[in-house]
Each structure stands twice: as structure tokens, then as C-alpha cells.
Structure 1
Amino acid sequence: MDSKQQGQEKIKAGDSEMQFRQQSLEKQADALNEKEVELKGKQQELNKQEQLLKQRVEAFAQDKKSLNERSLELETRHQKQERRQLEIEQGLPALRDEFFAEREQQLVEERQALRKQRAELVAETNKLQAEREKLAQIQETVEGDFSEQRAELQRELQQKRSAAITKLHNEIEQQRKNDFEVLERELQKRRDDLKSREDLLEQQQAMLTTEQNSVRLREVEVEQLQTSLEQKITERTQSRLQEFEQKERQFEQDKQRLLSRIERQDALHSAYDELQKALGDRSPEEVLLDLTAKNEELSKLREELKLPSQELEEYYDKHRAEVTRLEQDKIILQKEKRELQRDLDTQEQLEYDQERLQTKLNSLEVNYNAVLADNNKLRESLDRLNPAYNEPQNREDRIREIKRPYIEQYVPRRQSQNVNEIKWLEAIRSGIDEHGLHFSYRILCAFHTALKIAEWSPLTVLAGVSGTGKSELPKLYSRFGGINFINVPVQPNWDSQESMLGYFNSISNSYETQPLLNFLVQSREELIRGSDNPQDNYNGLNDTVSLVLLDEMNLAHVELYFADFLSKLEQRRATKNSELPYIDINLGAKLDPYKLSLGRNLLFAGTMNQDETTKSLSDKVIDRGTSIYFPRPSSLHRREKLKSLPAQADLLPLKIWWDWIKKESELSDTVVEPYKKLIEAINKYLGEDGKALGHRVWQSIEYYMVNHPLVIGLDAEQYPDEYKDALKFAFEDQLVQKVMPKLRGIETRGYAKEHCLDPIRELLAKNQLDILDDFDKAMRIGHGQFNWASADYLNNQQSNDRYQELFKLALNPPLLAPNTATITEQASVADPVSQPTK
């Protein structure tokens, strides 16, 4: 019976699965409807483009009209000049030659200008004609084909929907039949097994029932017999007792009657005596005779009184015989009682055996259910393990899973090729301020410059006090600057590259892709748009800039999960685009790995906290990274309103980003020498404690200074003092970001302090650098070892005011050459980031 119930439950489960598949089919239909809505949106977008083209045609027509008017005006002026020349030739012959030479030169220049304008007009006319032809083609395509494509698409969608529904119904029906067959076979096997067990249990139950019935029958008979016997004994005893009590009462009555007679006789004798006394005249003989007669009578009465009567003796003999018979009956009943007790013990034993067999039956049922549950678990494990032994997933399917786009929404690219870097940064800063957060000009420029020199330092690390915006700065910088962004929270159990990117799961026979891998692959793919099938469109991002943020990167050892990236990103320096390094993504056994190219549009940053839950960064990571320390807030900023993030700004093309980067140092030896000597002096004192700086550190410092926005934006000849201040600020930032972390672990007492730390501090003081307070703090808080973990120099109000003046001067220079002013004005008009995104 339990097996039948389980079969019914499995059938119900199959029906539930069929309903689930029906729901998934409905979801697919909803997805098709959504795609249809998307196509309608694309149609609207195409209509907008058509309107824009019409506007451009109208603008071209107006330009052509103005050019025609200008040509007529020039023709009129030419005719006037010819008439004037004729008048001069007729009226003033003496001045004709001189005026003719002068006007001939002017006419030649005007004719050349007119020819040039006519050529431009012809070019504009040709261009306008091409635009008209293109617009006509688009209009023909829109008017002639769009309705047909829509109808065809609707038919195709309907056919696909019908085919998908039919296929799904067939699959469900076939699966249901297969499940029913498997279930029927299993149920039949379970029925046979259960039938045999039920037959055996029925036999045992029948035997047990028979024995129970016989025992119960005998028990009933014994109870009836015992009840009858006790009833008979009780009845007989009661009757005998009543008879005996009745006879005893009769005997007592007779006794009382005799005693009363004796008393009466005594009374008579006393009365006789008294009477004799009273009758003294009687003779003695009479009295004696009378007395003798009385005595004899009295003796008889006394003997009668002493000896029982014959009736009473007979009564006692009868009762004695009855008692003897009852005792014999009692012996017989006791014997029957012992036999009944033995039968009762046998019945109790049978009942105990029955309970024991029932317990065994329950145990067998529990074991049967346990075996059935184990079979179900094994079947589930078999279904789960079957894919691993079926046909393996091919390489294209796994690559298709890797290439699944992380960013599905298409964002337009900027069209201007003259985006001003300083204005771009100012738009980001003002957009962040409007959002409710605040970052200083210096922090923003430092982060931007650190990303620009990714060829020399591929990793930018943001460290400092928790809650100062280390994670918010990269996100908002990307949002307002038009850069693709992904936040990757680092987990403490990351111990390999697969933890960050994903791995091949041999159990499910598929590649378990992490979002970061999808983002990295998408950043290296080309943009594919315009296909009739939306699934063929791919939002490739290789022409834009992408930023990866490893949040809380030191929760796990960076060298474990990011070591391969650090080495390969360093190899990217000065490498041709066709020879860029790549990361091998293992797709499984017997398959070639997928080669993930590390293009120059990939930028990496990370945040770092300094507490007991984190790991310290090694020298390898510090050398290959730029550590930007956020200062302790001197004043806490309010955030009166929590605003939602605005829409993503138009993406910044990689070409514009790459044009901002200086590939070679334009600093002269005279400018570089003081800074280079300071680094060499610090390196000399570091050698006293067994530490040293390599060539890579100085190269990163120099190219950081060259690529700093203020150094690029301020002309050295026009603003020499401001240019020097910008170089100093950039160099000071690099001292904190690249050099000071290398001093970590140096003893703050003894020989190391005297021969290393103290001389370095004197160098910093001699060069009037603002980082002396942070240097002294690093010597105090490290428990006997130098530990740089602050950036209070960024809170210097005087330095911040000067930095802001330099930024505004680079943003709006008061003196510019005409051509430069024209270019800047054009960039300001064409750059969509010049205004904060709202």
C-alpha cells in the first residue's frame, strides 16, 4: 500500500515538473514579447535617426542657399568692379595702368577664393547628395522592408513559439512516458517484493490469529466456567447458610422455650412451697407424692435439655455430608483453576510472541522505508552524476558561457576626438559633489594619474581610514567619466586564480564562470550591432576603458589569486598590440585553454584596510602598484540627502584615453636632476638597512610626474612657477605612494634609525616637503618598526588651496594662443562630460 502511495506521489511530482516546464515556456513567451518590444524601441530609434537626417538635409540646404547667395554677391561685386574698371579706362587714362594692376591682383585673389568656395560648395553638394541617397535608401528600407521584416519577424516568433511549445510538450510527454515506464517497472518490482513479504506476513498473521482465537476461546470458556463455578458456590453457600441460620434460629427458639418451661416449673415449685406453707393443713404424703412426680418430670426435662433431638442430629449429619461434598468440589475447582492458569500463561506467552512479531514487522517496514529512501538518494546521485559520463560539453559551449556579457546595456561612445582632460576631471569632481560626496582635487588627480601609468605600475591600491570613500571613488569616477566598472569583493578563502575567475566543474560538466571573467572577456571583444537577431548582437567593449576594483583585496593573500595577473600586466609594457600577454583559462581536460588577452584598456585597482583581519602587502605587490593613502578627515562632511546614481555617462573611447598618456618623458635633465638625486640619496640610506629601490620605482615616479594633469595642463614657459609647483606636488605624491611603503619594517631605534631613518628625514626637511609629520607618525605607531599608514599631509589647507589654484589655472588659462583657444573651445562644445551628468 505504501509503494502505491509513493507511486502516486512520483506521478504528482511528474505533473508538477510538467507544470514547471509549462511555466518556463510561458516565461520564454514573455521573453519573446519583450524582444518584440525591444524591436519596436529600435524602430523608434530608427525613426529618430531619420528625423536627424532630415534635419541635417535641411541644414545642408540652408548652407547651400547661403553659399549661393554668397556666390551671387561675389558675382555682383565682380560686375561692379568690371564696370568701374571700364569707367576708369574711359575717363582716367593716366591712372588706368596702375589701377588695373592693383585690381587685377585683387581679382585674382578673389577668383581663387571663389574657386575654393565653389570647390567646397561642390564637395558639400556631393556630400549632401550622398546623404540624400543614403537617406533615400534608409527610407526605402524603412518604408519598403520594415513592415515586411516586422511581419516576417512576427511569423518567425510565432513559429518559434509554436515549435518551442510543441517541442516542449513532446519532450514533456516523452519524459512523462519514460518516467511512467521506469516508475511502473520499479513499482512492479516493489509490488512483487512487497507481495511476497505480505504473503509471508499474512501466513504468520493467520497462524498468529488462529492461535489468538483458540487462546481467546479457551480463555472465554475458562472465564465462563470460573464464573459459573463461583456462581454455583456462592448460590449453594448462600442457601446452606440460610438453612443453617434458619435451623439455628429454630434451635434457639426451642432452647428458649425449654428454659421458659424450666423457669415456669421452678416458679411452680416455689409457688408449691409457698402454697404448701400456705396449705399447711395438707398431708406430707400428698405433698411428697406430688414432689416426686414433679422431680421426675424435672429430670426428664433436664435430660431432654442436655441431649439433642434426633431431628437436630440428622440436621447436623446432613450438613457435615454437604460440607464434605463441597470440599471435594473445591478440590476439583482448584484443579480446574490450575489448568485454566496454565492456559492463561500460554495465552500471555502467545500475546508476547504476537507483540514481538509485530515489533519485528514494524522494524522491517522501517528498514523497507530506509532502503527505499536510499534508493531514491542513489537515483538522485545517479541523475546528478550522469552528465559527467555522457557526452562532454564541447569547447564552443564552454567559451560561449565565458563570453556571456556582463554589461548587457549598450552605452553610446563619445564622438569628440578633442576631449580636454582637465575639463573631463572637473566634470567628474563636480558630478561627485552633486551626488553628495566630496574628494579633494589632489586625491582625484592622484587616482587618475595612477591609472594612466598602468604600463609601469599596473595596480592602484587605495588605503586608509575606513569610511573615507575608498570604494566609492573608483565607482563614481567610472560612472561620471564614462568608464566600464566592476566591483569584485575579495573573499578570505581565495587561494588561487580560479577563485577569482571561475573553474571547470567536472561534476556538472560545465564551466562555473565568475562575473569578473565575463567582464574581462567582454572588455576584449569587439562591438557587434545591427543584426536582425538580437542574440547575435554583442556589447563588446574593446574600444573603451574598463576598470576592475578588487574590494578589500588584502582579506586574502594577493600573491595567491593575483600573482599571474601582476606578472602578465608587467609584460604588457612596451609590447605591440598583436603581442599582448594573455592568461590561460582552463576549459577542462583534453581541451585547449582559452587565451584571455590583457589589453591596454584594462585597468586594475584595489582597496585595502589595515586591521587584524587583513594580510599585509608584499614587496612584490608594492613595487608593481601605486599605493594612495586617504587622509584622516580633519572635518566630517554632512550628507543631507541620499541620491541615487545617475545614468552612465557616454563611454570614453580608448583612443582618447591613450592620447592623454605621455609615452616618453619630456622633462629635461635640468628639471629631473634634483628629484632623481633625492631618490638616489634615499636609496643610498636604504642600503644601510639592506633595502633598496630598483629602476622600476624611479621610472614609475618620472612617468607619474610626466602624466600628471597639472604638469600637462600648465605651460612651463608661460607659467614657470606654477609648473614647478605642479612637479613638486606630483613628486611628493610619489614619495608617499612608491618610496615610503618600502621603508616598512625598518627598526626605529639603534643603528637603523641613526644611519637610515634619520638621514632620510633630514633629506625631506631639507627639500621642504610636507610629509614630515606623517614620517614621524610612521616611526611612532609601528611598535618599534617603521610603518607608513597615514596621509595627513593632504589635510594641509595651504597646500590644498595652492593645488586648487593650479587646477583652476589649468582648467581656464587666461592667456592662450588663438589656435589653442579655438581648439579648447571646440573641445568644450564637443565634450559631453564638460557638464556634470544628472
Structure 2
Amino acid sequence: MDGLLTTNTLIAYGIMGILALLAMVQLILAVRHDRIVTAQGPAATLEALESQIDVKQNTINDLEAELEKRREAIAVVTDLQAEVDGLRRQKEELLAEWESLRERRDEVAAVRQETEAVVIERQQLESEIAPLREKYLAIKEKVERAEELLARNDALKREYEEISGQVDDLRDKKRELEEAEERVSRLEARAKDLETDNARLEGRKSSHETELGELNARVASEREVLAQTQTELGRVGAEVAAQALDLRRIAGEIETLKETRGTLDARLAYLKAEIARNEGRSVNGETGEADPLRELKETPPVITAMRSWDPAPLQNEADAIKRVERRLRAKGLDYPSRTLRAFHTAMKVNETTQMAVLAGISGTGKSQLPRQYAAGMGIGFLQVPVQPRWDSPQDLMGFYNYIEGKFRPTDMARALWAMDELNNDDAEQDRMMMILLDEMNLARVEYYFSDFLSRLESRPRPSDVGDANERKDAEIELEIPNMERAPRIFPGYNLLFAGTMNEDESTQSLSDKVVDRANILRFAAPKKIKDGQADGEAEPTKALSQETWNRWVRSSASVEGDTRVAGRVEEMLDLMRDFKRPFGHRLGRAIMAYAANYPEVEGGRGVDDALADQVEMRLLPKLRGVEVDMAGPQFSKLKTFVERDLGDDALAQAIDESMTLAEATGQFVWSGVTR
């Protein structure tokens, strides 16, 4: 707009200049004309006049040329005037448009004011950021120093690991020597037992020597074999003392002697039985037939204690869990509620998962949790301490003593018989019992427990246990000779099984069969030591009925239609397939059963917590030995699944920590999560 005004002004000034120039030309012509008239006089000559005329003529020509130029300029001015008129009209239109855009100008002015305010605010923020930047630089410098210290710490760790490796080697050698000494001691004890049995056989044989000459000869022959065995045992003991470093060879010879001794025991027992039959007496010297199951039928202390409890009133599952929580506090025990719910759910799913294993370092409360849980719930509790020498199912259930003619049951066998409502008419009715295998990995679990675990897995559905043909593969047949029908024990669903395992140099690792059939709760090292202060008084134990327990148990079919559960189980299957550790239908159904039986939690996180528990208890133990470097992307996907989909930050952090610990060996070992 300002440029348009300047153009109009210049045009007006140009026109005025042209008009003024024309007036000056007319004035000059008039003056010259007057001068010509005045100059004419009598003295003028013709030549002078002609000369003047030529000059004037040139001047006129110049003026005419100049006038022509002025005319052209006037024409230009006329065109400019027309253009000015057009511009004036455009100016008026622009002025009208300018007026119409006043609101937009106001908006622009407001925006300009806001921009200025933002600039001022930015300047203020920069002034505030300046000291923060200084703090950041100081912190960065501290972090760099910390990284240097970490590098030095890593070097010290590597040196410590080298020394630890040497110490472990020495410890292994020491343990081997101690095991050799222990085996020698056991051999000596067994030799003494053989001598005692032999003396007893000789005394009984001498009383029947007249009538049983042939049998005496056979006994004498067996005695000679026994003497040879004892001589061999003494020789082996001497060799063990002289050659302590050759442990494997000695162990092999000891196992051979054990087999020989077992064979001799069987032969002697057979001979004794023959003597007893010929006399018309029982093998224990009493007249008539003795009940070989008499000791099995004796009431174990755990059953006696259960009979003294009052029946528990009808209660829902949530109240029962709260009752357990109160008992734990009264005993000065502090377990996270998440851990208690996980153990409770692991007990409820004993149809699809045969037992729960509590693993971790010593002193983390693994044995107290099942003991106090059972007391709080009103469930009978039997603790079975596992011995390092256990190597067969007989160590768990008992054996038949051929010399005495009796079945020697363990407390666990008595308890199973007392709880078997199908084979024992005098069994406890409508009661529950928990059996805890304490420190179950002191011996090889697959040696003494594998057969029993297979029996548990072969149990029919609860609705079919009444069918003898359906449950025959699950029943335990007691090896008792000379009985028309061998007694059988059915480990029913009124029995709950748990186990504890320490992780140190004296224990064995669990086999894949046990890992695949158990919920493994791993107790990590505590972050701080609790004071163990008791809170309140423990409530008296009241017997929980099996009927009430069965009402709490839900089938996995109850969550099969839940797309959230099914989808996440499928994702867990894909993750384990990527690890080259796939699982089958049995484990998939067990995971869904766990989700179905997880107690309700405030906030609606029941399903997420249940599936996160199954990642912790079923999947991570199966990843033992996976190369961390090779499976880095798979571990990242697993961590993302736990953190994003299941919302368990503590578990995701524990996976990270286990991967960090695995950097030393390169192989993943699940170390548990602290809740």
C-alpha cells in the first residue's frame, strides 16, 4: 500500500514539471521575439539578419524537437494517468480487503504476543536449565569414575572366580574322600549285620539239625559263601585304606558286594522260610500264621494327631487363605502373599501337576511354608527326611524282611495306607494330608521317587477312581511273598505332595522328569534380614474336609474359552519353541489348570499373576543350560512378554539378573525372584 502511494506521487510531480517546462519555453520565445524587434535598426545588415535568422531557426528546431519529446512525455503521462486510475481503483479494493482482514491482523498480533511470551519463558527455562546442566556434567563425571571402578571390580571378580574354581576343585576332592570313607563305614556296618544274621541262623539251625540234615548242608554251604564274602569285604576295606585315590574302582567293588549280600540275604531268607514251613512254625518263632501287614496297619502319629482335631466349619477359600496368613504371622514368618497364593494353587492342581518343589539356598523358609500352611488349612502333615543313601523305592515305602517274615513299612507307607479309602476299610474318611520330601535331592530323585511319581501321574480322573481297572496302574503293590493277594495302596487325591531341595555342593540336580511334572517355587536370597517377630497367637488347627477342598478345585475347562488365557499360553508355547525347549499337551493343560485355580486377587490381576507364576515355575527351570549368547533374542522376547503382557516387573528384573550371572559360565541358570 505504501509503494502504491509513492508511485502516484511521482507521477503527479512529473506532470507538474512538464507543464512548468512548457511555460518557460513560451516565456523564452516571447523574450527572444522582443529582443529581435529591439535589435532591428538602420545599422543592421542583411547578412547579420540572416545569420540571426539561422540561429533562431536552429533554436526553433531545437525547441520543436524538445516539444516533440514533451508531447511524447505527455502521452506517456496520459498512459501513466490511466494506470494511476487503475491503481487507484486497486488501492480502493485493497483498502477494502485490508479492512476485512482486520480480525486476522488482530489474531496475528495476538500470536505475536504469545510468541514473545514463549520466547520469554524459554529464556527463563534456559536460565533454570543452566545449573541443571552443570549438575548433569558433574554426575556424568561421577558415572565415568564409577565405570572405572566397575572395570576394576570386574577384574577382581575374575580373579576371585579363578580362586573359587581352585577351591571348588579341592572341595570336590575332599567330598570324594569323605564319600569313600562313608561307604567303607556302611560296608563295615553291613558286614556286622551279616555276622549277626549268620549267628542267629546258626543258632536256629542247630536246634533242627537232626531233622533237616539236607537243609543244614545247604545252610553250611551258604555260610561258606558268606564267609568268603566277609573275607572279600575285609580285603576291599584294606584296599580302600591303602588306595584312597582310586574311588571309582572301590565304589564299583562295593556295589558288587552289595549285590552279593542282597543275593545271600535272599537265599538265607528262603532257607529260613523252608525251615519254618517244615517245623509248622512261622518265621518269627511263633505258632500259627502272623499278619505280615501288622506293622503297616499301625496308626502313624500324623493320623493320631488328625483324629484329635475338631472339624473345621464351612468356609470359603479366601477365608482359609487368610487363616493361613494369620498363622504365619503368629509364627514370626514373613512370606509375600504372592508366594502363599502360588503354593496354595500348586497344591490345588495335583491332578495335572503331581507335586510342588520349593528350591533355594538353606535358611529361606522352604520347609516352614508347607508345614504352617498345612496346620493353618487343617491338613495332616508328614515330613519325610530323604537320606543320601536312598537308591530304590523301598527306601520310600519299606521292604519285606524275609528273616522275620514281616513287612517293614516306613511312616509314609503307614500314612498312605491309613488314607486309602478304596483298599483299607479302616481308612480316614473325608480328610486331607500333605507329604513333604525334605531335602529330596540329597539322593538321586529318579532312583527312589521316579516309580512313585509315575504312579501319581497314572491316576485316573477323580470321577473314575472308583473303577478298580482304571486305577490299577496307579496303585502301589507291596512286595510280600506267600500272600494269595498282594496288598495294594492307591495314592488318592486326598494326598498332596511337596518337596524341598537345597542348592549346594552336597545335593543332586532334579531330572527333567521331575521338572516336567512339578511346580518349582525357587526362593531367592533375601534382600534384607527380617526380625522374625511373632504377631498374635496361632489359632488351633481344625480339620479341613476333602469335600470342602474339592469345592475349591476347578477344571482347566473353565478357562478354555478365555481368549486371554489361551492366547498367552500359545505365546508361551512359541517362546519355548524358539528356545528349542518345546512343551506338550500335558504341560499346556497344567498351565491352564493353574490359571483356572488361582484365587481371586484385588485389581483383577489373577490371570496375569497366574501365568507369570507359570513362567517362573514351569518354563524358566526348563531353560537350564541354554547358551545365553546364542539365545539373547529369545530371552529379550521372554522378558518383554513378562513385562509388557503380564505386567510382572519383578520377574522381568529377575530374568535380567539371572542372565547377568550366566555371563561367567555362558549357560542360563534360573536363580529365582524376590517378591
TM-score tier, shorter chain, comes to 0.5 to 0.7
Cα pair 2:525 2:674 within 8 Å, conserved: no
| Corresponding residue SS for 1:439 | coil
Counterpart pick for 1:680 among 570, 581, 584? 570
Aligned with 1:724 (options 593, 601, 604): 604
- Matching residue of 2:642: 764
Match of 1:651 in 2: 543
Deviation at 1:414, TM superposition (A): 5.7
Q: How does 1:597-616 map to 2 (within 5 A)?
A: 597-616=490-509
Question: Secondary structure in 2 aligned to 1:724?
Answer: coil
Aligned to 1:448: 344
* Distance in 2, Cα, partners of 1:375 & 1:654: 51
Displacement after TM superposition at 1:760 (Å) = 2.5
- CA gap of 1:675–1:589, structure 2 versus 1, over 3 A, is same
* Aligned positions of 1:758-837 closer than 5 A: 758-767=636-645, 769-782=649-662, 793-795=673-675
Question: Which of 531, 544, 554 is the equivalent residue of 1:638?
Answer: 531
Q: Distance in 2 between matches of 1:376 and 1:625?
A: 46
Structural mapping, 1:700-739, within 5 Å: 700-710=590-600, 722=602, 724-739=604-619
> 1:381: how far off?
8.2
Q: 2:444 aligns with which of 539, 551, 557?
A: 557
Q: Tell me the equivalent position of 1:400.
A: 294
The one-letter code sitting in structure 2 at the alignment partner of 1:598 is: P
Distance 1:465 1:409, change over 3 A: closer
The answer to whether the Cα contact below 8 Å between 1:414 and 1:653 also exists between their aligned partners in 2 is no
- Asked if structure 2 preserves the Cα contact closer than 8 Å seen for 1:464 and 1:790, the reply is no
Superposition deviation, residue 578 in structure 1: 3.2
The equivalent position to 2:430 in structure 1, one of 543, 546, 556, is 543
1:592 maps to 2:481 = no
How has the CA–CA distance of structure 1 residues 543 and 757 changed in structure 2, closer, same or farther, with 3 Å as cutoff? same
Please tell me the residue identity of whatever aligns with 2:552.
Answer: W
Give the CA deviation at 1:741: 1.0
- The answer to which of 488-497 and 472-481 deviates more is 472-481
Partner of 1:567: 454
SS of the residue corresponding to residue 294 of structure 2 reads helix
Contact 1:631-1:790 within 8 A present in 2 as well: no
| Secondary structure of 2:477 counterpart | strand
Q: Which amino acid aligns with 2:557?
A: S
2:604 & 2:448 partners in 1: Cα distance?
41
Counterpart of 2:555 (choices 654, 663, 672) is: 663
Alignment map for 1:134-533 (pairs within 5 Å)? 378-379=202-203, 389-391=275-277, 397-406=291-300, 407-409=303-305, 411=307, 418-525=314-421
Write out per-residue CA displacement over residues 505-528 of structure 1, whole angstroms, 9 at most, x where no aligned residue. Answer: 112222121111011111124999
CA distance in 1: counterparts of 2:208 and 2:426, whole angstroms: 35
State the secondary structure of the residue aligned to 2:503.
coil
Q: What residue number does 1:696 align with?
A: 586
CA distance in 1, matches of 2:477, 2:604: 46
In 2 relative to 1, CA 675–421 (structure 1 residues): closer, same or farther, beyond 3 Å?
A: closer
Secondary structure of the structure 1 residue equivalent to 2:291: helix
Identify if the C-alpha distance between structure 1 residues 588 and 617 changes in structure 2 by more than 3 Å, giving closer, same or farther: same
| 1:389 aligned partner, one-letter code | I
User: Over residues 52-98 of structure 1, what are the superposed CA-to-partner deviations in whole Å (9 max), with x where a residue is unaligned?
Assistant: xxxxxxxxxxxxxxxxxxxxxxxxxxxxxxxxxxxxxxxxxxxxxxx
Q: 1:652, 1:462 → 2: CA distance?
A: 23
CA distance in 2, matches of 1:507, 1:642: 54
Q: CA deviation at 1:757?
A: 2.8
CA shift for structure 1 position 568 = 1.8
Q: Distance in 2 between matches of 1:519 and 1:674?
A: 42
Q: Identity percentage over the alignment?
A: 29
Offset, 1:400: 2.4
Letter of the 1:774 counterpart = A
Q: What is the letter of the counterpart of residue 451 of structure 1?
A: M
* Contact persistence 2:379–2:434 (CA under 8 A): yes
The Cα of 1:384 is off from its aligned counterpart by: 13
Code of the aligned partner of 1:576: V
Residue in structure 2 matching 1:577, options 466, 470, 473: 466
Deviations 1:162-186 (A, max 9, x none): xxxxxxxxxxxxxxxxxxxxxxxxx
Task: Tell me which protein shows more helix as a share of its residues.
Answer: 1
Pairwise CA distance, 1:436: 2.1
Q: Matched residues in 2 for 1:619 and 1:410: separation?
A: 35
Q: Which SS does the other structure have where 1:399 is aligned?
A: coil
- In 2, Cα distance between the equivalents of 1:470 and 1:384? 56
Give CA deviations for 1:112-164 in whole Å, capped at 9, x if unaligned: xxxxxxxxxxxxxxxxxxxxxxxxxxxxxxxxxxxxxxxxxxxxxxxxxxxxx
- The match for 1:743 is 623
Change over 3 Å in CA distance of 1:793–1:378 after alignment to 2: closer
**Which structure would you say has the larger Rg?**
1
| Preserved CA contact (<8 Å) 1:587 1:593 | yes
**Between 780-789 and 685-694, the greater mean CA deviation after superposition:** 780-789
Distance change (3 Å), C-alpha of 1:728 and 1:777: same
Aligned equivalent of 1:207: none
Find the aligned partners of 1:583 and 1:423 in 2 and give their Cα distance. Answer: 36
Point out where structure 1 has 5 or more consecutive residues left out of the alignment.
Answer: 1-373, 529-537, 712-721, 796-838
What is the distance in 2 between the residues matched to 1:383 and 1:609? 53
Partners of 1:527 and 1:593 in 2: CA distance: 12
Partner amino acid for 2:466? N
Partners in 2 of 1:605 and 1:492 — Cα distance? 18
1:755 to partner: Cα distance: 5.1
- Conservation of the 8 A alpha-carbon contact between 1:678 and 1:763: no
Whether the 8 Å contact between 2:360 and 2:523 is mirrored in structure 1 is yes
Summarize the Cα distance change of 1:774–1:508 in structure 2 as closer, same or farther, 3 Å threshold. same
Q: Which amino acid aligns with 1:608?
A: M
Contact 2:560–2:566 (8 Å) recurs in 1? no
Distance 1:539 1:630, change over 3 A: farther
Contact 1:526 1:541 in 2 (8 A): no
* Displacement after TM superposition at 1:655 (Å): 0.5
Are residue 626 (structure 1) and residue 626 (structure 2) matched?
A: no
Cα pair 2:358 2:500 within 8 Å, conserved = yes
Displacement of 1:781:
2.8
Structure 1's 766 and 515: CA in aligned 2 closer, same or farther, altered over 3 A? Answer: same
Q: Amino acid of the residue matched to residue 620 of structure 2? A: M
> Paired residues, what number?
398
SS at 1:655 equivalent: helix
- What is the CA distance between 1:791 and its match in structure 2? 6.6
- CA 1:726–1:602 in 2, change beyond 3 Å: closer, same or farther? same
SS of 1:450's equivalent in the other structure is helix
Task: State the shift of 1:775 in Å.
Answer: 1.1
CA contact (8 A) 1:743 1:786 kept: no
Which residue identity lines up with residue 613 of structure 1 in the other structure? Answer: S
Report the Cα distance in structure 1 between the residues aligned to 2:474 and 2:200, rounded to whole angstroms: 50
Distance in 2, matches of 1:662 and 1:393, equals 54
Distance 1:466 1:589, change over 3 A: same
- 8 Å contact from structure 1 (residues 622, 741) kept in 2: yes
Provide the residue aligned with 2:177 in structure 1.
none
